[in-house]
Structure 1
Amino acid sequence: MGLRKSVNKGDDALGQKVSSGHEVREDLPRYDNASATAADELAVLGYDDELVRSRTTREVTFMSFVLSSVPYGLATTLIYPVSGGGPVTIIWGWVAVSLIVFCVAISLGEITSVYPTAGGVYYQTFMLAPVSYRRILAYICGWAFTLGNIIITLSVNFGTTLFFIGCINIFHDADGNGIFEAKTYQTYLIFLAITLICNAVSALGNRWLPILDTGAIYFTFAGVIAIVCCVLAIAKEGRHSATYVFTDFDPISGWVPGWAFCVGLLHAAYATSATGMILSMCEEVKKPATQVPKAMVGTIVLNTICGLVFLIPLVFVLPDLTAIYNDPYAQPLPFILRAAIGSEAGAFALTVPIIILGIICGVGCTTAASRCTWAFARDGAIPGSKIWKEVNRSLDVPLNAMMLSMIIQLALGLIYFGSSAAFNAFNGVGVIFLTLSYVMPIAVSLLRGRRALVNASFNFGFFGVVANVISIAWCALAIPLFSMPTALPVAVTTVNYASVVFVGFMAISAAYYIVRGRHHYRGPPTEGVDEAERRESSFVGTGPAL
Structure 2
Amino acid sequence: MAVDDLHRAESAGGETGSADELLTSLGYTPELSRNRSTLQVAFMSFVLASIPYGLATTMSYPLIGGGPVNIIWGWLAVSLIIICVAGSLGEVTSVYPTAGGVYYQAFMLAPPNWRRVAAWTCGWLYVVGNVTITLAVNFGTTLFLIGCVNVFDTASGDAVLAGDAYQAFLIFLGITIFCNLVSSLCNRWLPLIDTFAIFWTFAGVIAILVCVLAIAKEGRRDASFVFTHFEANSGWTPGWSFMVGLLHAAYATSSTGMIISMCEEVKAPATQVPKAMVLTVCLNTLAGLLFMIPLVFVLPDIKELTMLAQPVPVIIKSAVGNAGGAFALLIPLLVLAIICGIGCTTASSRCIYAFARDGAIPGSKWWKVVNPKLDVPLNAMMLSMVVQLVLGLIYFGSSTAFSAFSGVGVIALTTAYIIPIVVSMLEGRKTVKTASFQLGAFGWFCNIVSVAWSLLAIPLFCMPTTVPITDPGLMNYASVVFVGFTSISVVWYIVWGRKHYTGPPT
Partner of 2:106: 125
Indicate yes or no: 2:432 matched with 1:453: yes
Matches of 1:457 and 1:42, distance apart in 2: 16
The within-5 A match list for 1:132-147 is 132-147=113-128
Matches of 2:183 and 2:458, distance apart in 1: 31
Matches of 1:227 and 1:181, distance apart in 2: 26
Write the letter of the residue equivalent to 1:502. Answer: F
> How far has the Cα of 1:456 moved from its partner?
1.2
Of 318, 332, 335 in structure 2, the residue corresponding to residue 339 of structure 1 is: 318
Indicate yes or no: 2:336 matched with 1:357: yes
Write the letter of the residue equivalent to 1:275. Answer: T
Partner of 2:9: 35
Q: 4+ residue runs of structure 1 moved beyond 3 angstroms?
A: none
> How far has the Cα of 1:89 moved from its partner?
0.2
Structure 2 portions without partners, runs of 5+: 11-17
Matches of 2:239 and 2:245, distance apart in 1: 10
C-alpha deviations, 1:123-149, integer Å up to 9, x for none? Answer: 000000000001001100000001100
> How far has the Cα of 1:266 moved from its partner?
0.3
CA contact (8 A) 1:160 1:358 kept: yes
Partner of 1:396: 375
Write the letter of the residue equivalent to 2:333. Answer: I
Indicate yes or no: 2:454 matched with 1:475: yes
Partner of 1:427: 406
Matches of 1:459 and 1:54, distance apart in 2: 25
CA contact (8 A) 1:31 1:44 kept: no
Partner of 1:539: none
CA contact (8 A) 1:334 1:351 kept: yes
Structure 1 portions without partners, runs of 5+: 6-29, 527-546
Partner of 1:16: none
> How far has the Cα of 1:375 moved from its partner?
0.2
**1:133 is paired with a residue of what secondary structure?**
helix
Indicate yes or no: 2:443 matched with 1:464: yes
Which structure shows the higher helix fraction?
2
Write the letter of the residue equivalent to 2:101. Answer: G
Partner of 1:11: none
Matches of 2:404 and 2:488, distance apart in 1: 18
Of 470, 473, 482 in structure 2, the residue corresponding to residue 493 of structure 1 is: 473
**2:376 is paired with a residue of what secondary structure?**
coil
Matches of 1:250 and 1:308, distance apart in 2: 20
Partner of 1:286: 267
CA contact (8 A) 1:282 1:288 kept: yes
> How far has the Cα of 1:184 moved from its partner?
0.9
Partner of 2:13: none
Of 2, 5, 26 in structure 2, the residue corresponding to residue 4 of structure 1 is: 2
Indicate yes or no: 2:242 matched with 1:261: yes
CA contact (8 A) 1:112 1:293 kept: yes
Greater C-alpha Rg: 1
Of 147, 150, 166 in structure 2, the residue corresponding to residue 166 of structure 1 is: 147
C-alpha deviations, 1:102-131, integer Å up to 9, x for none? Answer: 000000001111000000000000000000
CA contact (8 A) 2:6 2:21 kept: no
User: Cα RMSD (Å) of the superposition?
Assistant: 0.8
Of 305, 308, 319 in structure 1, the residue corresponding to residue 289 of structure 2 is: 308
Partner of 2:132: 151
- Could you tell me the TM-score, scaled by structure 2's length? 0.97
**1:132 is paired with a residue of what secondary structure?**
helix
Partner of 2:351: 372
**1:195 is paired with a residue of what secondary structure?**
helix
Indicate yes or no: 2:215 matched with 1:234: yes
Write the letter of the residue equivalent to 2:321. Answer: G
> How far has the Cα of 1:31 moved from its partner?
5.6
CA contact (8 A) 1:234 1:340 kept: yes
Write the letter of the residue equivalent to 2:107. Answer: F
Per mean C-alpha deviation after superposition, the further-off stretch among 242-251 and 169-178 is: 169-178
> How far has the Cα of 1:278 moved from its partner?
0.1
| Identity score, percent | 64
CA contact (8 A) 1:270 1:427 kept: yes
> How far has the Cα of 1:58 moved from its partner?
0.3
Of 263, 269, 276 in structure 1, the residue corresponding to residue 257 of structure 2 is: 276
C-alpha deviations, 1:248-301, integer Å up to 9, x for none? Answer: 000111111100100000000000000000000000000000000010000000
**2:366 is paired with a residue of what secondary structure?**
helix
Matches of 2:5 and 2:422, distance apart in 1: 22
Matches of 2:236 and 2:417, distance apart in 1: 29
CA contact (8 A) 1:31 1:41 kept: no
Write the letter of the residue equivalent to 2:371. Answer: N
Of 433, 440, 443 in structure 1, the residue corresponding to residue 422 of structure 2 is: 443
CA contact (8 A) 2:6 2:19 kept: no
